[in-house]
Structure 1
């Protein structure tokens, strides 16, 4: 016989509530109905079963926590880590900070034909383009130099030679978002995907013909092996573009139907330092300037003379492609730059130490976090949502805050450098343009943290971290539903 023990109903209610995630709201804030509205989304969402959510909502005016759902639980932030990196960089380096790329020679005389090496020194500019090398080549041309009897030496010694962050997955090695980190690197386009190339594949003009492949920037540094062919209009688009491990051989395999749209892929190069030097040598050749020697790596000698240099955009402008497009390489270069400037060593170890110190100065507690990189690509990074919302509240008082806010993606704005990674989300007229926030995506992880303007014109600060998702794309729908509730307050 089974015996049932009779307990008062209040005991059962108490026990049930004990196992619900903790939420709170300040009764004097005017958002008394907010927890119920947000809880309805969280509790009824089937894709959150077996997953973990951490959600924090604060008043933008005084920082009061309005809603806390497991807000002190450490969770993987994905690219929301960049919120800390950007704040730390602005605090440590300043919004007007720039990066220089310099050209030196050890030749004793400058004339039409010089005897000596050219030294191309990178100082961490993640926004270099081939056209910037062309401008530097014009500077050499103006000096009357036409021939260099020596080598082109690439100097990337400002940072250490550890190319990948600690937890970089091996499968991301050839991807543009996993490109190697170097103090001397170059981007294919004004999206500034440093250390990578852009590959476009178009169908041929007839069936059986090889597909047409173009690479930006064009060079002989990367070898293309094209085995892909054009098939009938009703054929399948099965293009596969891969770079071989530790090589700069890119293979294009598969099929592309006649009249099909072009396929685009961005691939990280192997050894971006040498790639940059190759492009600079090309730029010199285009101006009729020849180098008789080879491309090598080395360090600028102390007695070398500065010939010309290129200065980057200021950090305030650099933050736009960094944050809007969630550029991983920019994040890691900023980490190393902070390490170099503040501790004399351009390494992840020193740079992450500086980042922790800087966010602590802002009022965030780094002791509650596990921080392994600046981009958020690591699955070891762990941050509580309450700390992210705290950061977003505190940075509002900093003089550089307008640059920080301007760098965040704007919901529903179709312009790439405005809407960024939110340009195709939250497009309903009731919320269009009212959300400025950083997105984040990893396998099983989705995140969104930022600012939302409510119906009555108030600012709410939020951080939503969703982990252990079977499909992280479902996380975007949940985030959008939660933020829409905030906007309609």
Structure 2
């Protein structure tokens, strides 16, 4: 299969939307970004008790109507899982294979973000530091200057400029060594378990480096046969064999799996796509070096990148900070994560949970836990959290990543629904609710569910053969939690239309 190698105009346009995960969406129509109703203020659902399917006539009729919508459609042969429950009294209105395992796509972010807010707290912030192995003296750092990242999802050029400002205020004019991009804060792989190789070159498959920078992607622009990346200072090598032509675009793009060498070929007038950086830490280091030199700080040796190792982890703890900044709060990060389905942020939250709560205590005898990556540790932390909160009832559910890009995730619709119920009871319930896209108004639901504008707050999900929607449906007299997951169906547009029809019925029936 060669989808990621050969890229037409249509595919280049659609990749920005196909997976429900990416940069913020914008609109020229200003609308109030609030739902027209609110979630029930006093939670009444006890997750320690079984949730019982309702026998109320209206609920039974709703279940029959939704079953008819599915069975009478051309999508009836796909796997459908539907779970709907009331926050008012806990009754289950719809249970269609809700205890079966499904691949959830980006609705997985509902679980990751809820666990993150509940365990780390909304005021948690990631730090980025400049460090040395010995204090600067007479305006000189004798050795290397280490750029140490702790997983901030919003580190950008402006953040590096703030670090450089702190360096210059201390009178530092010379770095005797080089810039070392220290990406050792997280153990384990920077890519999600079970991610398809075809996803890795695109922005939504960017590696979750603890030293992430400018969202870990560059924009590749092809104009009149010339190819270039933005920002131009990014350490990317582009080889272009594009012929300018006015006919249909047949332009192909390929980034090597383990390097930032990009090849572009074919024929067409223009194209613009976002390509993931294989080594975002090196991008951060090169940008820092350029900013330092632009402010009159001499750097003596070449740049380098340090990945995790036991030695690197120990050394980082013994260095001195010469500059430090904090990134956005977790509350702010979760808002972007869910509104715009940002995979990178979800993966950084997962690894942060693993590092903070999933590593065994020093001197512990859990050998396996002591060597696993922070992604695997984060998955174990979230599974434990789900069980403790009464959100998960099955041992065989599988969490492979934090974003839902992996096809190895297996979650039941009921677990998603129970997570939403617990999230409505958390101290951070308002922050969580406000992070969700609002039907017909913002985020990934800006152009969907316009007939029930403002009455559904929900997270979308979409990878190939998987489409999902889960969140809150705001009735006049109660709020429902719902999870709709469809697996094994390639007709994305048709599936989403049917999902939206079902979701709309929850508030209009």
State TM-score, norm by structure 1.
0.85
Partner of 2:219: 198
Question: Displacement, 1:479?
Answer: 0.6
Candidates 452, 469, 473, aligned match of 2:473: 452
Report which of the two structures shows the higher radius of gyration computed on alpha carbons.
1
CA contact (8 A) 2:238 2:261 kept: yes
Partner of 1:174: 201
Query: Structure with the greater relative contact order (CA < 8 A, sep ≥ 6): 1 or 2?
Result: 2
Q: Structure 1: 5+ residue runs without aligned partners? A: 1-23, 188-193, 205-209, 414-418
SS of residue paired to 2:220: strand
Partner of 1:291: 299
Partner of 1:226: 240
**Distance across 1 between alignment mates of 2:389 and 2:293:** 49
Question: Displacement, 1:74?
Answer: 1.0
**Distance across 2 between alignment mates of 1:145 and 1:124:** 26
CA contact (8 A) 1:368 1:384 kept: no
**Distance across 1 between alignment mates of 2:170 and 2:278:** 33
Indicate how the Cα distance of structure 1 residues 473 and 60 shifts in structure 2: closer, same or farther if over 3 A, else same: same
**Distance across 2 between alignment mates of 1:32 and 1:487:** 15
Q: Structure 2: 5+ residue runs without aligned partners? A: 1-51, 307-311, 360-369
Are positions 1:427 and 2:442 aligned together?
A: no
CA contact (8 A) 1:173 1:179 kept: yes
SS of residue paired to 2:469: strand
**Distance across 2 between alignment mates of 1:218 and 1:169:** 28
Partner of 1:486: 506
Q: Map 1:195-344 to 2 at 5 A.
A: 195-201=216-222, 203-204=223-224, 210-211=225-226, 213-232=227-246, 235-257=247-269, 263-298=271-306, 299=312, 300=315, 304-344=319-359
Indicate how the Cα distance of structure 1 residues 480 and 255 shifts in structure 2: closer, same or farther if over 3 A, else same: same
SS of residue paired to 2:210: coil
Question: Displacement, 1:326?
Answer: 1.4
The C-alpha deviation readout for 1:256-298, integer Å capped at 9, x for no partner, is 33xxxx6321111122222221221122122222211121234
Question: Displacement, 1:122?
Answer: 0.7
CA contact (8 A) 2:244 2:268 kept: yes
Question: Displacement, 1:220?
Answer: 4.5
CA contact (8 A) 1:77 1:440 kept: yes
Are positions 1:401 and 2:429 aligned together?
A: yes
State TM-score, norm by structure 2.
0.82
Partner of 2:20: none
SS of residue paired to 1:317: helix
Question: Displacement, 1:100?
Answer: 0.1
The alignment's C-alpha RMSD in Å is: 2.0
Candidates 172, 180, 188, aligned match of 1:145: 172
Partner of 1:34: 62
SS of residue paired to 1:436: strand
SS of residue paired to 2:75: helix
Equivalent pairs, count: 438
Q: Map 1:123-142 to 2 at 5 A.
A: 123-142=150-169
SS of residue paired to 1:46: coil
**Distance across 2 between alignment mates of 1:32 and 1:108:** 72
Question: Displacement, 1:89?
Answer: 1.0
